[in-house]
Amino acid sequence: MDFSWMAWTTPTIIFFSTILFFLITLTVWEIRVPGGAPRNGILRFETTRGDRLFISLLGSAYIHILWLALTSLSVWFALVLAIIFAICVFTFV
């Protein structure tokens, strides 16, 4: 498929493909094991898998926006930072 009309770069494609993969994975997981595994983390309120995914996706979007606004470095570094952020959210929140 030719996505050049949207000016898609490789990091952008990987970023949105990862979001799609996460959404599909969590949907299948929720169908197989309903309930979302609620727990209290560092935010001190109950979160489910879906809540933690939303927080990590929102944070990843902000990381990428700020990265593009504040640095001229490659977006690959922002992707790595977003992955680390998501791991921390799923571990501690």
pLDDT 10s digits, 31-44: 998 876 788 888 88
Token reading at 7: 């000016």
pLDDT 10s digits, 43-64: 888 888 888 889 998 999 999 9
0.85 exceeded by the pTM? no
Looking up tokens 């009309």, which residue turns up? 5
CA distance 14 to 3: 13
* pLDDT higher than 90, residue 88: yes
Domain tally for the chain? 1
* pLDDT higher than 70, residue 85: yes
CA distance 38 to 53: 13
What is the residue range of 88's domain?
4-92
pLDDT band at 24; cut points 50, 70, 90: very high
Mean pLDDT computed over every residue of the chain: 87
Task: Give the per-residue pLDDT at 1.
Answer: 65
